[in-house]
């Protein structure tokens, strides 16, 4: 009804006008036609069938469709298709004529591929990373290398199988790599898990040894061990995983030894001994927990305990030696005012007792098997104390003689008059004696006497002079006894000094 130029229809007295409806129907029909043409164009652009392309192009031409600049006309497609068919025919003829050579090439390719696969599988069995001597980075790198190798072989398998199927070539070779690829994926999962545990240990190992607290260390190791136990069974069944888990357990069992190594008695020299024995190199200056972990503590407990025992014994020696050194560096002479003009030393017994006790302690140190480290210090201090003892021994003898003669000459003018030479010698010797002791009286430190030049020789000379004066005095008193018999009841007071 709408495909006409009329715009109304009469039914007797009834007239129906449909000009507006006719316009709308025509517009909708035109829209459908354009949409269909556009969709058909898209279909033709992706179609590789030349005949359909030709028919479709003719339909579009009848519809007066305006072709785009990039339109691919069926004449061009047909020409290219004919060229392709011609090339395929030539290749087919060539392959047919050389089927024997091609078959031989495929057989050789199968043989080479089979050999390469066999070699790769054998190498995989031999070198796959499942031992405890492989680092995580090396294991993952190894897996990546094998994966590339098997992927390359898999691509070659696909190519040669496709060629064999195309030529209907019959083959019966084992070219399956699925088991190896599956194992690679499993091991990658294992080593990735191990790597996570190792990263946790490495992070823990970055602590400086001096900052490590054993309680915190134990807690961290237990957390890492708990994390390892929560991993999948497929991961935990591998020996590589069991090795790192055992390493964590071993570190936990080594806490007792680590406690000994944390002792303040263990010095840098002891760490050098440990590292030279177990790592063949000196201990790092900036020692970290990671360096200690690498010493394989669990396997070297006996040696490490020996070093700890040595360190503790040496610490006892060092502490005793330091106490003796400190004691003598601080020890001072005790003086008292003998006369308005002179002060003399008292407390000799204490000085001699300390000196004797410390010399005995130094001698006992020599009996220790660890004395070698302190030999120079002990020998030096022993030499100093022996020198001090000898000086004090001579000094007390000089002081005893001087006190006796001072009581004679300073309080008896008659003696001075009767023994002028001895009196003068005593006065000069007194001056020399107290001049020698001025540095000591100034600092009062006992060790100061070691810095006085030729003190022992001077004291011996003074002692000899005083003995000579005493001898002259004794001779004078003996003469007096002979002249005055009543003097015989007077004892030789000097012998009490």
Distance, CA of 114 to CA of 98 (rounded, Å): 24
**pLDDT tens digit string along 353-376?**
999 999 999 999 999 888 888 999
Residues 345 and 487 in one domain: yes
Structure confidence at residue 311 (pLDDT): 92
Structure confidence at residue 243 (pLDDT): 82
Residues 342 and 491 in one domain: yes
Structure confidence at residue 24 (pLDDT): 59
Residues 366 and 412 in one domain: yes
Q: What is the mean pLDDT of residues 478-497?
A: 54
Predicted TM-score (pTM) of the model is: 0.59
Structure confidence at residue 98 (pLDDT): 64
Confidence category of residue 328, pLDDT binned at 50, 70, 90: very high
**pLDDT tens digit string along 122-135?**
888 888 887 666 77
Q: What is the mean pLDDT of residues 466-472?
A: 87
Structure confidence at residue 489 (pLDDT): 43
| Total domains, the chain | 4
Helix (H/G/I), strand (E/B), else coil: 68:
coil
Residues 273 and 157 in one domain: no
Residues 363 and 420 in one domain: yes
Confidence category of residue 181, pLDDT binned at 50, 70, 90: confident
Confidence category of residue 19, pLDDT binned at 50, 70, 90: low
Residues 335 and 298 in one domain: no
Structure confidence at residue 401 (pLDDT): 92
Structure confidence at residue 174 (pLDDT): 63
**pLDDT tens digit string along 209-225?**
999 999 999 999 999 88
Question: 134, 158, 190: which is the final residue of a domain?
Answer: 190
Report the range of poorest mean pLDDT among 83-92, 109-118, 223-232, 258-267.
83-92
Residues 297 and 344 in one domain: no
- pLDDT higher than threshold 80 for residue 82: no
**pLDDT tens digit string along 232-250?**
887 777 777 788 888 889 9
Domain-embedded: residue 196 = no
Q: Which residues on adjacent β-strands are paired with residue 345?
A: 335
Residues 409 and 336 in one domain: yes
Domain-embedded: residue 186 = yes
Distance, CA of 351 to CA of 370 (rounded, Å): 29
Distance, CA of 234 to CA of 327 (rounded, Å): 68
Residues 251 and 292 in one domain: yes
Domain-embedded: residue 146 = yes
Confidence category of residue 8, pLDDT binned at 50, 70, 90: low
Residues near 182 by beta carbon (within 8 Å), at least 6 away in sequence: none
For residue 284 the two structure tokens come to: 């790092």
Question: 96, 120, 154: which is the final residue of a domain?
Answer: 96
Mean pLDDT value across the chain: 81
Residues near 110 by beta carbon (within 8 Å), at least 6 away in sequence: 160, 164, 171, 173
Q: Is 12 left (phi over 0), alpha (psi -120 to 50) or beta?
A: left
Report the range of poorest mean pLDDT among 91-105, 141-155, 204-218, 298-312.
91-105
Distance, CA of 458 to CA of 433 (rounded, Å): 8
Report the range of poorest mean pLDDT among 130-144, 193-207, 350-364.
130-144
Percent of the chain with pLDDT over 90: 33
Structure confidence at residue 180 (pLDDT): 83
Query: Greater confidence, 489 or 91?
Result: 91
- pLDDT higher than threshold 60 for residue 44: no
Number of helices followed by number of strands (H, E) in the chain: 19, 4
Tell me, what CATH number does 476's domain have?
A: 1.20.140.100
Residues 92 and 112 in one domain: no
Structure confidence at residue 54 (pLDDT): 72
Domain that includes residue 147, residue range: 108-190
Structure confidence at residue 490 (pLDDT): 47
- pLDDT higher than threshold 90 for residue 168: no
Report the range of poorest mean pLDDT among 33-42, 217-226, 377-386.
33-42
Residues 457 and 342 in one domain: yes
Q: What is the mean pLDDT of residues 47-76?
A: 72
Which has the closest alpha carbon to 177: 198, 194, 161, 201? 161
Distance, CA of 169 to CA of 158 (rounded, Å): 14
Structure confidence at residue 112 (pLDDT): 81
Domain-embedded: residue 324 = no
Confidence category of residue 491, pLDDT binned at 50, 70, 90: very low
Residues 366 and 472 in one domain: yes
Structure confidence at residue 394 (pLDDT): 94
Structure confidence at residue 495 (pLDDT): 43
Domain-embedded: residue 1 = no
Domain-embedded: residue 325 = no
């Amino acid at each position: 009804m709408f495909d006409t130029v009329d715009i109304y229809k009469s039914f007797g007295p009834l007239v129906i006008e449909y000009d507006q409806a006719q316009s709308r129907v025509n517009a909708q029909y035109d829209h459908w036609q354009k949409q269909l043409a556009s969709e058909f164009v898209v279909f033709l652009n992706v179609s590789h069938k030349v005949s359909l392309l030709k028919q479709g192009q003719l339909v579009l031409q009848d519809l007066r469709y305006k072709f785009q600049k990039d339109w691919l006309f069926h004449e061009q497609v047909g020409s290219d298709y004919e060229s392709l068919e011609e090339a395929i025919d030539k290749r087919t003829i060539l392959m047919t004529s050389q089927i024997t050579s091609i078959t031989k090439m495929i057989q050789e390719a199968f043989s080479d591929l089979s050999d390469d696969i066999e070699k790769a599988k054998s190498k995989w069995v031999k070198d796959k990373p499942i031992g405890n001597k492989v680092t995580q980075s090396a294991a993952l790198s190894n897996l990546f290398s094998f994966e590339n190798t098997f992927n390359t072989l898999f691509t070659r398998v696909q190519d040669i199988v496709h060629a064999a199927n195309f030529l209907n070539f019959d083959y019966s070779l084992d070219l399956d790599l699925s088991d190896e690829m599956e194992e690679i994926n499993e091991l990658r999962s294992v080593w990735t898990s191990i790597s996570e545990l190792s990263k946790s240990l490495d992070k823990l190992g970055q602590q400086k040894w001096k900052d490590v607290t054993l309680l915190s260390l134990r807690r961290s190791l237990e957390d890492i061990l708990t994390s390892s136990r929560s991993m999948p069974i497929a991961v935990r069944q591998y020996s590589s995983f069991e090795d790192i888990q055992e390493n964590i357990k071993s570190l936990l069992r080594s806490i007792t030894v680590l406690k000994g190594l944390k002792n303040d008695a263990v010095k840098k020299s002891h760490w050098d001994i440990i590292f030279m024995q177990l790592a063949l190199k000196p201990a790092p200056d900036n020692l970290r927990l990671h360096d200690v972990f690498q010493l394989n503590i669990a396997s070297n407990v006996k040696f490490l305990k020996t070093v700890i025992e040595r360190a503790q014994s040496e610490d006892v020696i060092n502490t005793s030696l330091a106490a003796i050194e400190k004691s003598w560096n601080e020890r001072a002479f005790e003086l008292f005012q003998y006369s308005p003009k002179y002060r003399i030393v008292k407390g000799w017994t204490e000085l001699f007792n300390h000196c004797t006790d410390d010399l005995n302690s130094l001698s006992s140190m020599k009996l220790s098997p660890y004395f070698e480290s302190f030999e120079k210090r002990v020998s030096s201090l022993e030499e100093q104390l022996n020198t001090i003892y000898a000086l004090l021994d001579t000094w007390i003898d000089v002081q005893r003689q001087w006190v006796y003669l001072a009581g004679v000459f300073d309080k008896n003018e008659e003696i001075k008059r009767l023994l002028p030479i001895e009196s003068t010698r005593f006065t000069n010797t007194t001056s020399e004696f107290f001049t020698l002791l001025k540095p000591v009286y100034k600092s009062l430190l006992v060790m100061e006497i070691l810095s006085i030049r030729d003190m022992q020789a001077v004291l011996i000379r003074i002692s000899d002079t005083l003995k000579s004066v005493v001898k002259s005095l004794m001779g004078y008193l003996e003469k007096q006894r002979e002249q005055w018999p009543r003097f015989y009841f007077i004892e030789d007071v000097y012998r009490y000094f």
